Every structure is written in C-alpha cells, then in structure tokens.
Structure 1
C-alpha cells in the first residue's frame, strides 16, 4: 500500500495517518526525530517518506485519536516546538493501492553497480543537505536563461544547443567562486579515473558548467554529449528533486535505468559517456521498484565538463563526430 494526501478542507478525510510537509531528511529532520516528536500524541507505528523529495513524510499512528490530537495541536500555522520551531503542513493521509507501472516500464537500479554499464558511477549524498541549500541559493541569485521548457545557466563557456558544442574562442571567464569547494572535492574523488582519450590528463580540470532547472514533467531527449566538444568524463550533480535517467544503446539494442536521488553525483565516463545515449523521460512520476515516485516541484542539475582542444580519439568510431566526420553521437 502507499499513502496519499486526503482531499477536502480542514485536513481532509480523517485517518490514523498524517501527511506532513516541510519535514524529513532533506530539510534536516531525521525520521526518528519525527517519530519522537509526534509520539507525544500517542503510539507512532511508523514514519515513512511520502515521496522521493525527502521533505515530506507520513506519520502512521496506532489509532485515529492520536492523529486528531496532533492535527489539533500542530495543524494550524503555529511553529512546531518539538522540531525546533519548524512550521509544518499537516493533512490526513489515506492508504491507496499502488498505481501499476506502465507495461513497458524498465527495472530501475538504485546503484550503478546493478547496471553493469562500464564507466558509470553514482555517488549518493555527495554533498550535505546544508550544502545543497547553499548551492540552490547561489544559482537562484543569478540570472537564468529561459529555454522552451526549462531554465539554464552557463559558466566558463556557453553551450550552444543548435550545434551541441561550445565556441572555445568565446570564453565566459573563470568558473564562479561558489563552485570552488565542490570542484576541489570532485578533483580529489578517488573513483574518478582517467579517460581513454584524455588530453594529457586534463579531464579533471573542468572548465564548463551548465545548470539546468527542470519543472515537473520535463526531462531531456536521448543524446550523447558531443565527442568533439568535451574530453573526459561528464559529471552531473542532482539537487532539490529526484528523477530516473535511462541509458540507451542502439547496437545491439539495450535500455537501462537508474534512480538519481537529490545530492547524488553521477559520473559518466568510458562507454557510459561515449557509447550510450542518456535520457530523462518527460513525465511527472517515475516507477522505482514498484513504487510511484513523484518528481516534486523542481529538479536542478549541475553538469561539469572539460572543453576539448583537439579531436577525439576514442574507440567508438561510428559514434564519434571527430572520426566519422558527421554528427554521430548527437
């Protein structure tokens, strides 16, 4: 079973379960702290994440009288004294049968090792919730460029969507200072290995960053980052919301999928970077291990790349625009 908010006014259809927003690990409140705080109203049977956001939970009481008491005490606009004065948003929550996944839904991996895709690495909790909040504040303080369905920011070099490349002769300057600590942590990341076509081992010195903001239901179409544009691994840090990313190979045909939680760092190198298309489906709900995970109000990704100064010499000749002379891999 899963839990959903109950509709209507005054908290919705009464039940022994409460849907609590602005509360959870993503905002610095552990599930055990939630259970202890709500335990003053009666026996707490369990506390579950309400979705994949990490900022909403469902508190399951042993009986409805406890949830009524909690709703009466903390269901208004007053801050919650047991959770550091945090303003909570409470509604009753009722159980619903889980939504069936679509018939063509892929099995979604939670760890990169499950996919057995050479060059793919997922580092969960690469940054802390406080660091995530600070990064989001920094990017939101800067101007966004609006595309058809999402907003973007570019640093170091402008990414030209028409050609899926950059113009090295038109740099934007050094990367902003708010990324410095993150870049240092990435540079010392032990599992970030050298690439097969690194230009004198410079792939760790990232000089192009793109920040994407995805509203609910918006993803990216299948693509391989242009071989001639960038050298070495491509890194993507997920902020604010989760999503599922798919990887597709045309010959032989294959599809794989992985769940990207907030604050995780995805590393695409080797085959994962040069030979597989990656793709974020354009929908609002992902099905992960039989559970429907709603993406939330926004997802922000920070992508790190190194601009290439010479032709790519990777072994994937048919997918490489440097070696095929065309638009292979785009």
Structure 2
C-alpha cells in the first residue's frame, strides 16, 4: 500500500490520528488487510502504509484522533491473537516532509544502547576475516517472534545499508533459509512472494535453497552475494527439523539486526539486483 508518508517521531507527541506500529507488517506474515481489519475495530482506517523498508513496521492512519487513541490504549505492548499473537509496540506518528525508499541518513536518533557495547566489540573482530574496513554499525532493528511466526523472503535494500549485516538471535532458535531466485522471479516484492513455497521449498524450481540453524546467542553475518543477491527467510511454523531432529521453537525469539546506514548510492557487483544501479 505504498512507502512511508509518515515518520517515527523523534520526541513525545501528545496525540495524532496516525500510529507507528512496530513488530507488525508483511515481513512477519501480516497482510495490510489483516492489519486494517484489526485496527478497524477502533474506528475507520484511512490507510495502512509501510513505515520503512524492513516490512516489520507500519503506519496505521485513522480519520479521527480518538480512534488512534483507543487503538493505542487497547493494543500497545499486548499480545494480539488476531495478529499471530505478536506483541505490538505502538506510538503516535506524524506526517513526513519527504517520501523515500530508504532510511533517512540525516535523521539521527542517537547512540546505540549501551548494553550492546560488548556485542559490538565482538562484531568489530570480524574485520580479521578479511574485511578491509573496521566494522562501524549505526542502525539497530529489534524484532520479537512468537511461536509459528517467521520472516517473509526479502533482500535488505541495497541503497539503504552498507555491505555487512549482523543478526543476533536471542531466547529461542530457528531455521533461516536463503533463496536465490531464478531470473525475473526475484523482482517480486518481498511482501507478495508466496510463503506457501516454504512447505515444499526443496522441490521448487524457482530458486536455489540453503538453510542454516540459528541457535540462541548466535550471530549471523550477511555479506557479499549473500547480502545483495540471496533472499533470507524464516519459515512460519513452530517446529524446525535439523539433521532429522525435530526442534520446537521457544515461546519467544528476539533478533537484533545491526547495520551501517549507506550515505551514497550502492556500487555493488550485482547491478541486476541493485536499486541504485537500475
């Protein structure tokens, strides 16, 4: 339903007819129609929009402020059965002056949380693997996954973030799949790719598939072709099969994804997949 026409507020907003809703969106298996139906219980919804390229945050725009206020009080920080049991994090939002497909590199929201310092220190050691530049990360996304909730196939926007993307898994494990789609198929928007393929993904002729197991407290690094070409995806189910062993997902999984915001166009070696080089 479009890209952001609103933005997350930098300070406190007393009231607004627009809500910024985190832990909610197509990348976690929730369609715009489903989101609108749930929030529509509190008043007529003008529209539901992506808040950014992650697909895990949306803007719900009401016609009246009192509808937004009712929804915020009823849904914020509470598990919502109609939305896959996800705990939503909601605050008021405001109109954005500019529309963009990328993060706003000039909209600095402050330092990363201090409790991440030991983790960032460990990540900085990855330069010893052959990366020329020191790893300096300045963007953090936190997502919470109840049992059975996954992540739709997507590639992080090239022009939004630099090469290295780190993902820290906490609380519970999961399987993450990587898919390299055949020519033309990858052009499909991440929120419209058919998740039903996951049930028979090994038999699909549309993409190559690789899967890895992410145990709790593990760090995943995406770089090069894995970051720029392969979609990453977490199946929407409650049990993963690892080496013929069935592993039930925990009651809660939390991921910390850390990136570095790109300040200019992407000049990667994969122009056919790159929004900067189209």
1:211 aligns with 2:165: no
Question: Deviation per CA, 1:64-101, whole angstroms, max 9, x where unpaired?
Answer: xxxxxxxxxxxxxxxxxxxxxxxxxxxxxxxxxxxxxx
Matched residue of 1:301: which SS? strand
Instruction: Work out the CA distance in 2 between the residues paired with 1:238 and 1:212.
Output: 10
Task: Give the TM-score normalised by the residue count of structure 1.
Answer: 0.47
| 1:168 positional shift | 1.5
Go from structure 1 to structure 2 and tell me whether the alpha carbon gap of 1:188 and 1:144 turns closer, same or farther (over 3 Å shift): farther
Q: Is the 8 A contact 1:175 1:208 kept in 2?
A: yes
Query: What residue number does 2:151 align with?
Result: 220
Instruction: Work out the CA distance in 2 between the residues paired with 1:144 and 1:210.
Output: 17
How many residues align structurally?
Answer: 169
Alignment of 1:14-93 (within 5 A): none
Instruction: Work out the CA distance in 1 between the residues paired with 2:154 and 2:108.
Output: 24
Among 241, 256, 264, the alignment partner of 2:210 is 256
Matched residue of 1:286: which SS? strand
Query: What residue number does 1:243 align with?
Result: 174
Go from structure 1 to structure 2 and tell me whether the alpha carbon gap of 1:313 and 1:237 turns closer, same or farther (over 3 Å shift): same
From the CA coordinates, give the structure whose radius of gyration is larger: 1
Instruction: Work out the CA distance in 2 between the residues paired with 1:172 and 1:227.
Output: 21
Among 168, 180, 196, the alignment partner of 2:105 is 168
Query: What residue number does 1:266 align with?
Result: 220
| 1:144 positional shift | 6.6
1:276 aligns with 2:230: yes
Task: Give the TM-score normalised by the residue count of structure 2.
Answer: 0.55
Instruction: Work out the CA distance in 1 between the residues paired with 2:129 and 2:146.
Output: 30
Unaligned 5+ residue runs, structure 2? 1-75, 90-95, 184-206
Go from structure 1 to structure 2 and tell me whether the alpha carbon gap of 1:270 and 1:245 turns closer, same or farther (over 3 Å shift): same
Instruction: Work out the CA distance in 1 between the residues paired with 2:102 and 2:241.
Output: 33
